[in-house]
Amino acid sequence: VNAREVYGFVGWCSSAVVTVLWFLWAITPDSWLVAVGVAYYPAKYWAIALPCQLCVSVVLFYWMYDGLNRAFVLSPSHGAQISDAFANVGEPDKPSERSIPSLVDLDMRHVCRVLYGKQQSDK
């Protein structure tokens, strides 16, 4: 048994206990809690408000993440999506036997020709 398994099991057990205590606190009448000796506890409002705030926060996080990505990513039709100043476009060298060919970026027309074959516009 490794540490990850132990931590996972303890985390699973802890979350189960906290969830059961949460539901007990949410559905138990205040008079029963006082009779048991629990004098200080949060208002029942938080039994609904906290999960709702958590759900809204998760949704807002995903919306903001998506919005920031859309704001800072170039449009698909932008030329920098295909090539930029650091591109090393060219034909790869003919490697000698047992050597690794040089690293180059392939021309988009060559890639399309290999993938899709000759088109009408190539004739």
- 61-80 per-position pLDDT tens digit: 999 999 999 999 888 788 77
Please give the C-alpha separations between residue 21 and each of 17, 24, 47, in angstroms, as whole numbers. Answer: 6, 5, 11
What dihedral angle (degrees, nearest 10) is formed by the CA atoms of 30, 38, 50, 21? Answer: -100
> Does an H or E element contain 56, and which?
helix 45-72
User: What's the pLDDT band for 87 if we cut at 50, 70, 90?
Assistant: confident
User: What's the pLDDT band for 118 if we cut at 50, 70, 90?
Assistant: confident
* pLDDT of 112 higher than 90: no
pLDDT of residue 123: 54
Q: What is the mean pLDDT of residues 100-107?
A: 78
